[in-house]
């Protein structure tokens, strides 16, 4: 197969890839989907980071600005904010007593030849504080955003437009900060693993000081050992795609979590041969909301379907 860059819309397959939905029978992704997968994960990483600031009062505002271009335009029901300063003024008007929850239900990125990424996404937004009686309220909100390349692997938002939809079933308020925090970490990990540059250095930010990673061939406990894995097995393919399925997590206390996710892997070898596999990852994660990402303490990997060539 020969890859030719072009503007692509990653639709239904991306919904599962990003949201970690339950597994379903589906065909292989296209070559474009495989080769652009790291960009789709990067887009998901940034969108999920956007919500975290509003969901945790300990989250750093500097990290919120980190995902925005300096001249970003943000449009919502309260008007339009241009640039960091106007956005900061808008944020200052939000009551600190409010509780917010963002349930991402639909995610569709469009990746352009120039590296820009358009996102159409939908969430169910829950709030405690808007209603005078303290009741939980909920709305459907549509997001239309544009991410543009930055001086690092993660792109930054240049445009964000929120469109308020109909009220949703409020139900019981659900704190989704842990889920969005852990999913953004998982997608950033996939971004770095799939990045064609195969650079180990950015992983330092998301690995705990004492980590233990076991991909099934013995524990990796040093950064040098991890860098060897990135330069070796992780670089044995010219492109790869990890689709998240069956994502779940539990709280361990003291800002520590355990997450489990199944990964449908598709890889393209340098000789253009294709391979597939399915693994189950179990991570132990510690979270400092002041940092850009939570950190991985431990990874265990179980092979559900072995690495196998794709028959033509």
Give the C-alpha distances (Å, rounded to integers) separating 18 from 39, 187, 241. Answer: 12, 8, 12
Domain assignment present for residue 176? The answer is: yes
Model confidence pLDDT, tens digit, residues 89-101: 999 999 999 999 9
Is 2 among the domain residues?
Answer: no
User: For 237, which DSSP code?
Assistant: S
CB atoms within 10 A of CB 296: 21
Neighbour tally for 265: CB within 10 Å:
18
Please tell me the pTM assigned to this model.
0.93
Q: Give the pLDDT confidence of 33-50 residue by residue, as tens digits.
A: 999 999 999 999 999 999
The answer to whether 106 and 15 have CB atoms below 8 angstroms apart is: yes
Q: For the chain, what is the domain count?
A: 1
**Could you give the CA distance from residue 147 to residue 42 in angstroms, rounded to a whole number?**
10
pLDDT at 225 over 70: yes
Residue 287 sits at φ, ψ, to 5 deg, of -125, 125
Share of residues in the chain with pLDDT > 90 (%): 88
User: Can you list the positions of beta strands (E) in 33-189?
Assistant: 68-76, 79-82, 99-111, 117-128, 136-148, 156-167
Position 3 in a domain: no
SS3 of residue 10 by DSSP:
coil
Query: Is residue 73's pLDDT more than 50?
Result: yes
Residue with token string 């960009």: 39
Tell me the chain's radius of gyration from C-alpha atoms.
20
Distance CA 72, CA 120 (A): 17
Q: 6-20, 108-122, 189-203, 249-263: which range is least confident on average?
A: 6-20
In a domain, 1, yes or no: no
pLDDT of residue 5: 32
Of the ranges 3-12, 26-35, 210-219, 258-267, which one carries the lowest mean pLDDT score? 3-12
* Domain assignment present for 290: yes
**136-148 confidence digits (pLDDT tens):** 999 999 999 999 9
Give the pLDDT confidence score for residue 158 in this predicted structure. 98
Domain that includes residue 145, residue range: 8-309
| pLDDT for the residue 266 | 98
Angle at 85 between CA 84 and CA 90, to 5 degrees: 95
Count the neighbouring beta carbons within 10 Å of the beta carbon of residue 240: 21
Backbone angles phi and psi of 227, in degrees to 5:
-60, -35
pLDDT in tens, 5-14: 333 444 444 5
> Is pLDDT at 4 greater than 60 in this prediction?
no
Helix (H) or strand (E) holding 306: strand 295-309
Higher pLDDT, residue 93 or 311: 93
Residues near 117 by Cβ (< 8 Å), separated by ≥ 6? Answer: 39, 40, 42, 43, 109, 110, 111, 146, 147, 155
Q: How confident is the model at residue 16 (pLDDT cuts 50, 70, 90)?
A: low
The answer to whether 84 touches 114, Cβ cutoff 8 Å, is: no
List all residues 6 or more positions away from 263 whose beta carbon is below 8 Å from its beta carbon: 242, 243, 244, 245, 278, 279, 280, 281
Q: What average pLDDT score do residues 57-64 get?
A: 97
pLDDT-based confidence at residue 15 (cuts at 50, 70, 90): low
pLDDT of residue 292: 98
List the CATH number of the domain containing 155. 3.10.450.50
């Amino acid at each position: 197969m020969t890859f030719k860059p072009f503007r692509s819309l990653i639709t239904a397959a991306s919904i599962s890839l990003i949201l970690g939905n339950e597994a379903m029978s589906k065909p292989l992704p296209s070559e474009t989907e495989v080769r652009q997968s790291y960009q789709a994960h990067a887009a998901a990483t940034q969108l999920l980071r956007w919500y975290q600031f509003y969901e945790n009062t300990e989250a750093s505002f500097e990290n919120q600005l980190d995902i925005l271009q300096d001249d970003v335009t943000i449009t919502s029901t309260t008007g339009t904010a241009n640039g960091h300063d106007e956005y900061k003024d808008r944020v200052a008007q939000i009551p600190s007593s409010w509780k917010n929850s963002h349930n991402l239900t639909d995610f569709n990125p469009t990746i352009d030849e120039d590296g820009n990424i358009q996102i159409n996404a939908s969430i169910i937004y829950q709030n405690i504080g808007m209603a005078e009686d303290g009741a939980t309220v909920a709305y459907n909100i549509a997001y239309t955003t544009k991410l543009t390349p930055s001086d690092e692997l993660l792109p930054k938002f240049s445009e964000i437009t929120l469109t308020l939809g109909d009220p949703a079933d409020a139900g019981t308020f659900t704190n989704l900060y842990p889920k969005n925090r852990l999913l953004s970490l998982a997608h950033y990990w996939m971004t770095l693993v799939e990045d064609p540059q195969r650079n180990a250095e950015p992983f330092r930010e998301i690995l705990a000081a004492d980590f233990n990673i076991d991909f099934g061939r013995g524990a990796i406990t040093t950064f040098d050992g991890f860098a060897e894995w990135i330069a070796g097995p992780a670089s044995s393919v010219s492109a790869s795609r990890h689709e998240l399925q069956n994502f779940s997590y539990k709280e361990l206390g003291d800002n520590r979590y355990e997450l489990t996710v199944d990964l449908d892997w598709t890889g393209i070898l340098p000789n253009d041969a294709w391979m597939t596999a399915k693994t189950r990852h179990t991570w132990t994660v510690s979270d400092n909301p002041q940092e850009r990402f939570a950190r991985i303490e431990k990874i265990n990997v179980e092979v559900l379907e072995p690495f196998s060539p794709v028959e033509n």
